[in-house]
Amino acid sequence: MPSFTVYKGSHDGSIKKAQTTKPDLRGDDVLIRVTASGLCGTDEHYRNVDMVLGHEGTGVVEATGPDVKYLKKGQRVGWGYEHDSCGHCDQCLSGMETFCPQRAIYGEADLDQGSFASHAVWREAFLFQIPGELTDKEAAPLMCGGATVFNALRMYNIPSTARVGIMGVGGLGHLAIQFASKMGCDVVVLSGTDSKKEEAMKLGAHEFIATKGKSELDLGRKLDALLITASIQPDWKLLLPAMAPNSVIFPLTVSGNDLVVPYMPLILNGTRIQGSIVAPRHLHREMLQFAAQHSIKPMIQEFPMSEDGIAKAMNTLNEGKMRYRGVLVPQ
Ligand SMILES: [Zn+2]
Ligand SMILES: [Zn+2]
């Protein structure tokens, strides 16, 4: 029976080292030795919960169950937010298993393991091979952050002719800039101040707008799509007039609060608010392939995979000082 080290949240928010023991590998189970894990904003939401944290994992296959078909010991794999689904419902059969009513996702299922750990056991069906162009540390933040922004652009068919706004330059935003610009879109970055302008332009933005203190946004051509990746809800009265007719807004940041949006501008302009989560597996694979093909890589800050290292990484993220994705690395 595989037994390994995991790192959990706790009632007082401190990170606790613990041990998880799983049954002997069954079906298409794969035992993975974790080599890197990204730190996502969603981990922060579970910091006070007694569960293993982390859902941007990469690692090496150590052992395979009896029904594993294509993965071999030593291969590099990653996993993200979803660990399993029923395989039979309409959503599963149409390649939208992220919306399966019986899906197993981070925070709801398999709370005894995660990517803040020495090892994990997941189904082969929900693991992704990492392209040779990406290191484990580079691939980790793509498993949730990359998949989230790619899914919004790809599942909802944002064309290469679109003018795409990215609000917020952080873990998600700095990846969204790269994906959207490599897809050929006209990318406008909206950020509070000018402090991240130079980096945003290097990542592929065509235009950068500092929004702080502005009561009106003069964008010239309006936005066909807007990805909200900032940690706080935006000033809708500022944003809605900048949206093109029949445009789409993706609120991608997880929040426990209600989304409060002015009513009439949506109706009169045909702007829609589109919910979107991580990518289903076929798009997740495509995302990794796209990242490899176009040299899309996260900018990372490394921390040791330990109680102290995880706490330090989470505090850095909380203080808004992460540039731009924290990655935990086993020592
Ligand atoms: Zn995440
Ligand atoms: Zn299903």
Q: Is residue 105 part of a domain?
A: yes
Q: How far is the CA of 31 from the centre of ligand 1 (A)?
A: 22
Domain-located, residue 231: yes
Say if residue 225 is in the same domain as residue 133: no
C-alpha of residue 66 to centroid of ligand 1, in Å: 30
- Domain match, 155 and 122 both: no
Q: Calculate mean pLDDT across residues 145-154.
A: 98
Are the C-beta atoms of residues 176 and 324 closer than 8 Å to each other?
Answer: no
Domain assignment of residue 55, yes or no: yes
Distance 94 CA to ligand 2 centre (A): 10
- Band of pLDDT at residue 178, cut at 50, 70 and 90: very high
The model's pLDDT over 31-63, given as tens digits with 9 standing for 90+, comes to 999 999 999 999 999 999 999 999 999 999 999
Same domain, 123 and 234: no
315 and 203: one domain? no
Q: Is 105 helix (H, G, I), strand (E, B) or coil?
A: strand
Phi-psi region of 246 (alpha: psi -120 to 50; beta: other; left: phi over 0): left
Total count of domains within the chain = 2
153 and 131 share one domain:
no
Q: Write out the two tokens for 288.
A: 């990794």
Quote the percentage of the chain above a pLDDT of 70: 100
Domain with 260, as residue range(s), is: 147-273
pLDDT on residue 61: 98
Q: How many residues does the chain have?
A: 331
Element (H, E) at 224: strand 223-228
95 alpha carbon – ligand 2 mean position (Å): 10
Q: Which residues crowd ion ligand 1, with CB under 5 Å?
A: 40, 42, 144
Q: How many A from CA of 3 to the centre of ligand 1?
A: 25
CATH number, domain containing residue 26: 3.90.180.10
| pLDDT over 90 percentage in the chain | 96
130 plus 254 within the same structural domain: no
12 and 115 co-located in one domain? yes
CA–CA separation, 151 vs 33, rounded Å?
27
Q: Are residues 153 and 139 in the same domain?
A: no
Q: Nearest CA to 166 among 237, 251, 241? A: 251
Q: If you measure from the C-alpha of residue 100 to the centroid of ligand 2, how many angstroms do you get, rounded to a whole number?
A: 4
Q: Say if residue 88 is in the same domain as residue 189.
A: no
pLDDT tens digits, residue range 217-247?
989 999 999 999 988 888 999 999 999 999 9
Ligand nearest 46 Cα, by number? 1
The domain that contains 250 carries what CATH number? Answer: 3.40.50.720
Residue 101 forms part of a structural domain: yes
CA of 68 to the centre of ligand 2 (A): 21
Q: 12 and 134 share a domain? A: yes
Give, as residue ranges, everything with CB less than 5 Å from ion ligand 2. Answer: 85-86, 89, 92, 100
Examine the domain organization and report whether 122 and 30 are in the same domain: yes
Q: Which residue type is seen at 90?
A: D
Residue 189 within a domain: yes
pLDDT band at 255, cuts 50/70/90?
A: confident
Q: What do you get for the CA distance between the two ends of the chain, in Å?
A: 24
Nearest-10 Cα torsion for 144, 145, 151, 157: -170
Task: Indicate whether 186 and 100 sit together in one domain.
Answer: no
283 occurs within a structural domain: no
Ligand 2 center from residue 279 Cα (angstroms): 15
**Stretch (H or E) spanning 308:** helix 307-318
Q: What is the pLDDT of residue 254?
A: 81
Ligand (nearest to CA of 98): 2
- Please give the distance, rounded to the nearest whole angstrom, from the Cα atom of residue 273 to the centre of ligand 1: 20
Q: Is residue 286 part of a domain?
A: no
Nearest ligand, CA 148: 1
DSSP assignments along 311-330, one per residue: HHHHHHHHTT--SSEEEEE-
pTM score of the predicted model: 0.97
Residue 285 lies in a domain: no
> Does the structure show a pLDDT above 90 at 200?
yes
